A and B are shown apart, each in its own frame.
Chain A
Amino acid sequence: MMNSKPTYKLTDKDFNQINRRSLFGFQLGWNYERMQNTGYLFLILPQLRKIYGDNTPELQEMMKTHVQFFNTSNFFNTIITGIDLAIEENEGVEGKDTVTGLKVGLMGPFAAIGDSIFAALIPTIFGALAASMASQGNPVGVFIWIAAQIAICFFRWKQLRFAYDKGVTLVTDMRDRLNALTDAATVLGVFMVGALVATMVNVKFAWVPQIGKVTMDIQNNLDMIIPKLLPALIVGFVYWLLGKKKMTSTKAILIVLVLSVILGGVGVLAKI
């Protein structure tokens, strides 16, 4: 074990290769058992071979280390990879425990941040914009979203080298800023949901009951309270429904589908 400290230094070519593999291959092997485990290994296998050398027991040990359970945001995964490689390049197989601890310790927080930004906020903001333009037959919103995603890919490319240079301090540096940004983005997200409720649920009361000789135009009465009250009430109902035990999003969609078919079919509700 005397000569176990590796001598290989990663080059720009290595970083580019990892980034290509990350953008176009990271999650192909996603499986129920260990999720992104093979993806993690696939990304850095060429570099591991250079660091440890082919057919060495060290390489095999590290390959086995890297196919353990792993799951994080596929937008932030190369930050962990970068920090990991900086350690392995210096410490070699002796850094194994550090690397394992690092992977396990960081994958959770990055999964959480990544999900809140890339699964909730970006689709809300850009998806809502694209969808509301699309509903009028205008494709421009989709192109705006594509442009945003290209910008995101650019930063996904940059972050690997950045994490490699900065090491673990990056994570602590990032935390405050990311928290503030995520929080600010949720403000925009919540605002947009309010705007969407007011524009994209296009139904009204069609039911006009006759009480004696007086006809009651329910929709007009609601409009006088505040326009779009019905969409707000519907969203409120689904919000309540989602709070029920054992409710999934798929179930909620199907329940709303059936209820609206019935209410629409008998003529209580109508499309605007």
Chain B
Amino acid sequence: MAWWQILLLTLYAGYEILDELQIYSSLNTPVGAGLIAGLIMGDLKTGLIIGGAMQLTVLGVGTFGGASKIDATTGTVLATAFSVSIKGMSPQVAISSIAVPVAAIMVQLDVLARFANTYFAHRIDHLIEENNYKGIERNFLYGAIPWALSRAIPVFIALAFGRGLVQTIANSLNGNLKWLGTGLTVAGAVLPAVGFAILLRYLPVKKHIAYLIMGFTFTTLFSVLFTSIQTLGTGLQAANKSFTATFNGLPMLAMALIGLAFAILHYKDEISGKGGSGKGGTKEATTTTESTNVASEGEITDDEL
């Protein structure tokens, strides 16, 4: 790993948390971290594989259990950096042996940053007494420092000094601890299941169970179909050189669009159901027409979908 790669990854780690707190560009998410770290390390694919898996692992984490939020983004940065730069550290092993443990440890540093900011909040209380307006703003902005450092320092230390340790780990996982290496690879593949389960805990599954079943069944059938055709195609190509058609895997966007169609139907039902129920009578009807003109919030989410 070159010094400039360490520098850029450290800077990104400091930036990432500020992004998450503020504009939320999604470059702060694990999959965004995979993209950035992959680009910096010169191996986009490894970054995306690790980032994608970590994204799925923490899908619903923001909603479950409140304060302690596992820091999958920082985990992705370190796992990508080491997976690319260290021989014998496959992306799957890096996910379960580096990304997840790092993400879990980073929870503590997040807590530290939030505590550190209490200090600035108290200083602001004093500055209000003194009518020191510039001071208030300055001390508020200082809050960015504990936040950024809480990610940047551990990333820098790990990248600058952790290489030897990770190399040793990689060597033994490929050597006498082969079974553990295999286990870690499997774990990397299982972990997304946790993200899905957390989300199901949060979403109204009982109410929408029909959609869960449809989503699962449609996708299962299609994915088996697509995979089988791909396998057949590859086989045919090997058997006969004149067979040149290529088959891609199941596009997730297509499945998302089917889901979107169900969501639109559901939304229309709900909106029209309100007017017709007679619960609010004419008053209900007028508010609906009023809000169609101005409800920018309504339009937001339409766009997001």
Contacts and interface: CB of A to CB of B under 8 A. Distances in A.
A and B from one complex: yes
B131 A128 contact: no
Contacts of B304: 122, 125, 148, 151-152
A53 B179 CA distance: 71
Contacts of A261: 96, 180, 183-184, 186-187
A109 interface: no
A172 B58 CA distance: 34
Interface string B2-39: 00000000000000001001111111010110110000
Given A128-B252, A177-B295, A256-B190, A188 B183 contact: no
B1 interface: no
A235 B179 contact: no
A271 interface: yes
Contacts of B124: 29, 38, 41, 67
Given A41-B124, A135-B49, A264-B183, A159 B198 contact: no
Given A127-B31, A250-B107, A190 B208 contact: yes
Interface string A36-61: 01110110010001000011000110
Query: Helix, strand, loop or mixed for chain A's interface?
Result: helix
A142 B26 contact: yes
Interface residues of B, number: 131
A201 B192 contact: yes
Contacts of B204: 186, 190
B100 A253 contact: yes
A271 B25 contact: no
Contact of A197 (B34, B216, B258): B216
B256 interface: yes
Given A183-B266, A184-B266, A186-B208, A31 B252 contact: no
Interface in A171-195: 172-174, 176-195
A146 to B, nearest CB: 5
Band of interface residues on A: 35 or more
Contacts of A183: 266-267, 270
Interface string B181-209: 01111111111111011111111110011
A253 B118 contact: no
Interface string B259-276: 110111011001100100
A16 B99 CA distance: 40
Given A119-B63, A134-B35, 14 more contacts: A29-B120, A45-B137, A115-B62, A122-B304, A127-B31, A129-B252, A142-B48, A173-B295, A194-B214, A198-B223, A248-B65, A249-B60, A271-B188, A271-B189
The 6 A-B pairs with the shortest beta carbon distances in the complex, nearest first, are A194-B215, A264-B186, A265-B183, A134-B52, A191-B259, A261-B183
Interface of B: 18, 21-27, 29, 31-32, 34-35, 44-45, 48-49, 51-53, 55-65, 68, 70, 92, 96, 100, 104, 107, 114-115, 117-118, 120-121, 124-125, 128-129, 131, 133, 136-137, 139-141, 143-144, 147, 179-180, 182-194, 196-205, 208-209, 211-221, 223-224, 249-250, 252-253, 255-256, 258-260, 262-264, 266-267, 270-271, 274, 287-288, 290-291, 294-305
